[in-house]
Amino acid sequence: MARVCLCLTGKTLSRNLAAIEKYRRCIDVAELRVDCLDPDERFLIRDFPGQAGLPVILTIRRRIDGGYFDSGEGFRISLFSRGLAFAEVDRRRNFAYVDLEEDIDVPSLEEAARTFGTRIIRSCHNQNGIYDNMAEKIRGLARTGDEIAKLAVMPRDLGDVIKVYRAAKETSGMEKIILCMGDFGTNTRILAAHAGSFLSYTSDPELLPAAPGQIDPETLVKHYRFRDITARTTIYGVVGFPLKTTFSPRIFNTVFGHEKIDAVYVPFPAQNLNDFLHLAAELRVAGAAVTIPYKEEIIPRLRNVSDTVRKMGACNTIKTDKTDHSPDWDGINTDALGFSESLLRFTGKKNLRGMKITVVGAGGAARAAVSEIHRLGGRGLILNRNSVRARELALEYRYKWGGLDSQALDTMERYSDIIIQTTPVGTYPNIDDDPFELYHFKGHETVMDLIYNPEETAFLRRAKAAGCRILNGLEMLIRQAKYQYQYFFERDFPDQLIPRLEEIIRRKA
């Protein structure tokens, strides 16, 4: 099982000990980043392992390697020596590991470490990209059989990440630490077991950033259930870009834990869909949610699609054949039912017959909403920033259309029994943005915004102030996830979990 390592980037040793206490139940190893300590504290590191009460890595990271140390190499070597000096017979009071970069060549340091059982991590950090032949790079790092090779690289996209997993596979017999930094690399930190990595680094968000893309130990262990993940754990995920706010991992990992399913749900921000599909094949990803901007682009890549996807032209859920995880994907759309069930429950109606409804936006989510409004007998007006797109969608259903401009206001007043806001405008962190400030709510409208983070968008706040009944996208999110779960696993969703899931998302939003 891969270990969880907490990077200690506090300015004082006592601050670092407090961080260990905060996360003790979630971590196996700590890395003392001496480069982050105040100058006076650097002379006191020798006693730290005895105080920490868990194995500690001694690291003094230079700026060129992504650290904070810039006081010269001679001083750095003397600090390493200080950390390794006066070794005790009780090894728990010595540093368990020392991180020496690949270009360090100080035999006396290595000798001191080996004599007293401190294992050497031989590291290489590339802040600017990856290497051509990473398997060879990893093999070349460890100088002796007892050293642990560490390779940390900065992928430019998921295409680079695939190469890292392949290199990990090619060096599968080796004890190593392998990871990708940055947002594209977060999956390698969660899936350390799949990469065969000895440990995964985490950090305390209240301390100095240790490396880009790290998550905190509690999120890794409790939310992603890191300690239950093995190389055989089935991977699910969500693909989109930039994918800054997604609650799907929260929902699914909670359900997997509750249902004791050996699976993990990982966010895959992807700059292009091809990269994700290749990575998914490499990792044998079994199923995924598809979100902005790929709900339409994914369709030509699918082997089979449901009638709803064909009709709506938007797909938000894909899965591979459950028996062989083949790279052929099938797709459905669960936004549609999630949307209509949530809206009907809120309005207390069985259908939308006789209702005149404005949909703001004409993207993937709007397509799901409009197809359901049509199925349920509602009459629609579609308004979009790009009015050509509004027209295209409207013509499919013989609905009215327009741009988000003053010309649309008269028609909108006539289509205002229900107003559905489907653009991402107003999503955290841009919580004061409003997609259609020109429209003044009268108070009789029922207003739904598909956004769930924040709970009340600027659009909903205005509607509420005018006296409208308002609904956000939280219930829709959970209902569509429920249908995704049923599609992935062909069994019922544990409905009793819904209040807990709503609470988790509310706390995080």
Interface residues with ligand NAP (CB under 6 A)?
A: 292-293, 295, 335, 338, 361-366, 384-386, 389, 404, 422-425, 427, 435, 450-452, 473, 476-477, 480
Residue 317 φ/ψ, nearest 5 degrees: -145, 130
Taking the least distance from each CB to ligand NAP, the nearer of 237 and 363 is: 363
- Smallest separation, CB 336 to ligand NAP (Å): 10
CA dist 317 and 177 (Å) reads 33
Taking the least distance from each CB to ligand NAP, the nearer of 311 and 385 is: 385
Is 192 in contact with 28 (CB distance < 8 Å)?
no
Question: Is 176 labeled as catalytic in the residue annotation?
Answer: no
3-state secondary structure of 397: helix
Taking the least distance from each CB to ligand NAP, the nearer of 190 and 477 is: 477
Alpha-carbon distance values, 140 to 128, 143, 193, 274, 393 (Å): 20, 7, 22, 31, 57
DSSP β-ladder status, 119-126 and 148-153: parallel
Q: What's the number of CA atoms in the CB half-sphere (13 Å) around residue 325?
A: 17
Number of helices and strands (H, E) in the chain?
19, 20
105 Cβ contact list (under 8 Å, min separation 6): none
DSSP β-ladder status, 29-33 and 56-59: parallel
- The residue whose Cβ lies closest to ligand NAP is 363
CA dist 358 and 268 (Å) reads 33
CA dist 408 and 429 (Å) reads 28
Q: Which of 150, 163, 176, 295 is catalytic?
A: 295
Taking the least distance from each CB to ligand NAP, the nearer of 28 and 455 is: 455
Q: What's the number of CA atoms in the CB half-sphere (13 Å) around residue 311?
A: 13
- Smallest separation, CB 315 to ligand NAP (Å): 11
3-state secondary structure of 314: coil
Taking the least distance from each CB to ligand NAP, the nearer of 80 and 441 is: 441
Annotate 43-91 with DSSP letters as a single string.
GGGGGHHHHHTS-EEEE--BGGGTS-B-S-HHHHHHHHHHHHSS--SSG
Taking the least distance from each CB to ligand NAP, the nearer of 87 and 292 is: 292
CA dist 165 and 159 (Å) reads 10
Per DSSP, 358 falls in state E
DSSP β-ladder status, 176-180 and 199-203: unpaired
Taking the least distance from each CB to ligand NAP, the nearer of 221 and 476 is: 476
End-to-end CA gap in the chain: 32
Taking the least distance from each CB to ligand NAP, the nearer of 109 and 450 is: 450
- Smallest separation, CB 430 to ligand NAP (Å): 9
Is 139 in contact with 171 (CB distance < 8 Å)?
yes
Catalytic annotation, residues: 295
